[in-house]
A and B are shown apart, each in its own frame.
Chain A
Amino acid sequence: MRSGFVYAIAYILLAPFIGGFLEGVDRKISARMQRRVGPPLLQPFYDVIKLFNKETISVDSSQTFLLLTYFVLMLVTGVMFFSGSDILMCFFVLSTAATFLYFAGVITSSPYSSIGAQRELIQMMAYEPAVLLTCVGFYLAAGSFNVNEIASTGTSYIFRLPGFFAAFVFILTIKMRKSPFDTSTSHHMHQELVKGITTEMGSKNLALFQITEWYENVFLMGVICLFVVNGTMTGFVASVIVFLLVYFLEILIDNCSARMKWQDMLMITWIVTFFTAGVNLVILMVIK
């Protein structure tokens, strides 16, 4: 219980730094893949500091409040996860947080932001089954939804849950807003939906959104680690290696694929979910 508390505090304090640093690495590696020099490693922090120093502008008075709620609920998700409570509950709170992001997108009624928000909703529908199935996978393997119990059973579940792992990595591309599934927002310029769901977010609102993304990414990486950790030091090291590899894979996918239509995204995600997590689930449940 006490260690859970420590982890939760560590998450609150460190996650933005880890998340921001990971994004810096991401941008640097992406630049190198494109044979550019790329921005400095700390670039994401410079960006956020600058955003905080600008005039607070807004299109709709309620947008800040919705984004703040999104931020806090994301924080709660992470805290619940790292303090070792129920993983299914974590994802339920996460989806509630995402709902608030959707509200922040549509409340302005601005065309680009609304289209981005609608696509965000489609994305949620696309990844939700895989997320829930991942939780079910953990439950089948560890006999509990409890993160603490899953993490400390002495086995790395990745060997029993390879299908679930694959499905989760697949939807991670959606969650981290990486190409080819960056349909709701774009990190790149000159696209058909400008900045998607973030179009109407300027200065502090955007900074808040950015920090929330970092928290979310760290939480997602935590879930990736959960597939590997087994309570030992080796497990811990292995999990860090796995998560770095997964992160690198996401960057690679981002840099060598073009955006997809949302229809295709939905279909492909569900099909992949079925053939990875689904097959794994059937095997686990039948052979058990």
Chain B
Amino acid sequence: MDSFTIPFLIIFPFIAAVFSYFTRINKLRNGFAYVSSVVIMAATGILLAQWCASGAGVRELYFETHLADRAILVLEIILAVYITVLCFRYKKYWISLLSLGPTGLIVWFEFFGPGINEGARIRVDHLSVLMCLIIGIIGSLIIVYAVGYMHGYHHHHRQFRDRRYYFFTLLFVFLGAMYGFVLSDNLLWIDFFWELTSVCSFLLIGYTHEPVAISNSFRALWMNLLGGTALAIGIVYLAYYSGSVSLHRLVVLGSAKMSYAVIPIALIAFAALTKAAQMPFSTWLIGAMVAPTPSSALLHSATMVKAGIYILFRLSPAMARTTTGNMISFIGGFTFLITSFMAIAQSDGKKVLAFSTISNLGLMVACAGMGRSETIWAGIFLMLFHAISKSLLFQDVGATENSLHSRDIEDMHGLLYILPRLAFFMFIGIAGMFLAPFGMLISKWSALKASVNEGNIIMVFFICLGSATTSFYWTKWMGKIISASHLKETAFRDITKKNELISLSIHAVLMIALCLLFPLLSHVYVNPLIEEMFGTYKDVLPTQILLTLVVIIGLVFAVPLLAFLYSRKMRKTYVLSYMNGVNAGNNMKFIDSFGEEKTLWMSNFYLHKWIGQRKLMGPGQFFAAAVLVVMMSMIIGGVRI
């Protein structure tokens, strides 16, 4: 396997970032952004090809890299100093402690700690290649989308300073950090890239410099740095006891039930919870909505939150049937349920997406916590479907907002007739999130089965209730899009840029391809992944289910099409809809009791009096925090259940 691709993948985005920062001519930078994203995608493809050519197994690389180690240490210190400066500038002094503390700990450890067996820095296997593909494809497409979107954004929001050079710099740094994160096996490297993603997300959220953006960005920062602190402590603890800082080694030790691996695993898993925005740390992700759409898409779909999921998947064999695993799966399941409730009560499109992201991440976290091969199988597919459809939906809602001047779901009434292209993409995205036969469903099936096998009663409840609430908010959104609308006659101009459309179309194609091919993908890729992770492998999908699934896939695509063709041929007489006979000539207006025309407004149910964010968020956070504190204390104190 060629040793050039991996450093290129990690370093190239940083070079692109530097270039973006110093190019102040928009056209030049945009062109460069296109080229870079194509290069990143191509390089990811080459990585996949080379890795397949070398036997598609586990590859450990780079055992002697002292120069890079030192560079990373220096960069980490610079990062901490930078955060401290920002914290002081905005008078959030205490947050700087969360950065200085762990960095100090790591630096102290590197200089004065015991000698350790550093091992391989880079480890390539099925999971990391899969993550690379997600980051490479979705991430690059988001950059393509961002070129068009940010142009329109600054056109519409003249109150914000146009700092696109800075925005693209951050996007590229983010991609580089993510590549570094998923390809590293050395926990010190992972820690550095972890902090880097935290800082990047912090800067992206605060991009507009509005007061609300700044306060939200600091919330994101402290929550993520808290995770980073736990990670740093975990790493140093592990290094002291086992003399190794390899993530892979930690999982092996954990699976062998070594007692000194328990605490590092718990701490790293805790860190992952903050990154994956699980309860009680969900609010940073909701707050991240103030940022321009491409950054929300990037944070929510392909990168930031997936970093947390990735690390949990890595740890999952070691977490199976431990207190840590129980804690993680409980927090995940709880988050899945309670945030899906809160999503029902939202009418802001981006907020619904945010809550549903947290909710879906909750299910993935729960799958990882249970640590069974079936649940990881389900989790991987959840992750794949979620990455594509969420990225699609975020971009689409962003584009819709530019054209419709609103992102409220109520305003999307009849979007299909106003902005047909965007509505179509939205439909595919939402279908991917919950409708049969898209993979979410089969993942839920598998997760439910595994929780029953595991005897995890609470998880069974979480999944049964959560899937009911999930389909509620998605279905009502879809219904809104297709409803006949009184806005039909109002002209809205679809001002979506070509590059945005390219990105959206590729996403839609990927979504449908994934749906059609996922039995194949399961067989060719995910099953070997599971085998690599657990050593053994049991077929998750029995043949009969697979057969049923193929039939359903065929039907769900064919039936509406045939029904559509058939019903189009039918002779029909069109009549007015029933409004007690007082329609004012059409279905959009009626005559009220004063004899005047009134426009009809149909609104969805939101139930916010019962299950709104205000009602549930506080108690939910309190409960989750209590569970976390109690269980972490139990784990650290060595109590076994």
The answer on A and B forming one complex is yes
Per CB-CB distance, the 10 closest pairs between chain A and chain B, nearest first, are: A128-B468, A110-B577, A68-B563, A64-B567, A106-B479, A109-B484, A132-B464, A65-B567, A96-B436, A129-B464
| Cα–Cα distance between A189 and B484 once the two chains are bound (Å) | 27
Pairwise interchain contact A65-B464, C-beta atoms closer than 8 A: no
A271 at interface, CB cutoff 8 A: no
- Given A73-B555, A85-B548, 11 more contacts at CB 8 Å? A89-B445, A89-B548, A89-B549, A103-B479, A108-B587, A124-B471, A128-B471, A200-B577, A200-B578, A278-B461, A286-B457
List the B side residues contacting A158 at CB < 8 Å: none
Pairwise interchain contact A88-B448, C-beta atoms closer than 8 A: yes
With A88-B445, A99-B471, A132-B448: A59-B575 Cβ-Cβ less than 8 Å: yes
With A68-B563, A99-B435: A106-B548 Cβ-Cβ less than 8 Å: no
Within 8 A of B (CB), among A100-131: 100, 102-103, 105-114, 117-118, 121-122, 124-126, 128-129
What mask results when residues 573 to 586 of chain B are scored 1 for a CB within 8 Å of chain A, else 0? 11111110000000
B495 at interface, CB cutoff 8 A: no
Pairwise interchain contact A92-B579, C-beta atoms closer than 8 A: no
What mask results when residues 466 to 486 of chain B are scored 1 for a CB within 8 Å of chain A, else 0? 011101100110111011111
What mask results when residues 432 to 445 of chain B are scored 1 for a CB within 8 Å of chain A, else 0? 00011000010001
Stretch at the interface among B181-189, B515-523, B600-608: B600-608
B449 at interface, CB cutoff 8 A: yes
List the A side residues contacting B476 at CB < 8 Å: 118, 121
Q: For this complex, into which size category does the number of interface residues on chain B fall?
A: 35 or more
Q: How many A-B residue pairs have CB under 8 A?
A: 184
Pairwise interchain contact A69-B587, C-beta atoms closer than 8 A: no
| Cα–Cα distance between A43 and B566 once the two chains are bound (Å) | 29
Pairwise interchain contact A85-B544, C-beta atoms closer than 8 A: yes
A281 at interface, CB cutoff 8 A: yes
Pairwise interchain contact B578-A129, C-beta atoms closer than 8 A: no
B571 at interface, CB cutoff 8 A: yes
| Cα–Cα distance between A110 and B484 once the two chains are bound (Å) | 9
| Cα–Cα distance between A62 and B570 once the two chains are bound (Å) | 11
What mask results when residues 537 to 569 of chain B are scored 1 for a CB within 8 Å of chain A, else 0? 000000011001101100110011001101110
| Cα–Cα distance between A239 and B141 once the two chains are bound (Å) | 57
Partner of B441, one of A92, A145, A200, A281: A92
| Cα–Cα distance between A200 and B579 once the two chains are bound (Å) | 10
B463 at interface, CB cutoff 8 A: yes
Pairwise interchain contact A61-B572, C-beta atoms closer than 8 A: yes
Pairwise interchain contact A58-B464, C-beta atoms closer than 8 A: no
| Cα–Cα distance between A257 and B477 once the two chains are bound (Å) | 33
Number of A interface residues in the complex (CB < 8 A) = 67
B637 at interface, CB cutoff 8 A: no
| Cα–Cα distance between A93 and B555 once the two chains are bound (Å) | 10
Partner of A109, one of B414, B436, B563: B414
Partner of A128, one of B467, B545, B567, B610: B467
With A68-B566, A68-B567, A110-B587: A58-B472 Cβ-Cβ less than 8 Å: no
Pairwise interchain contact B455-A132, C-beta atoms closer than 8 A: no
Within 8 A of B (CB), among A44-88: 55-62, 64-66, 68-69, 72-73, 76, 80, 85-86, 88
A166 at interface, CB cutoff 8 A: no
| Cα–Cα distance between A281 and B480 once the two chains are bound (Å) | 37
Stretch at the interface among A15-23, A25-33, A133-141, A210-218: A133-141
Within 8 A of A (CB), among B407-466: 413-414, 435-436, 441, 445, 448-449, 452, 455, 457, 460-461, 463-465
Pairwise interchain contact A64-B479, C-beta atoms closer than 8 A: no
List the A side residues contacting B588 at CB < 8 Å: 109
B119 to chain A, nearest CB (A): 42
A16 to chain B, nearest CB (A): 18
Partner of A285, one of B455, B464, B559: B455
With A99-B435, A109-B485, A132-B463: A72-B445 Cβ-Cβ less than 8 Å: no
A63 to chain B, nearest CB (A): 8
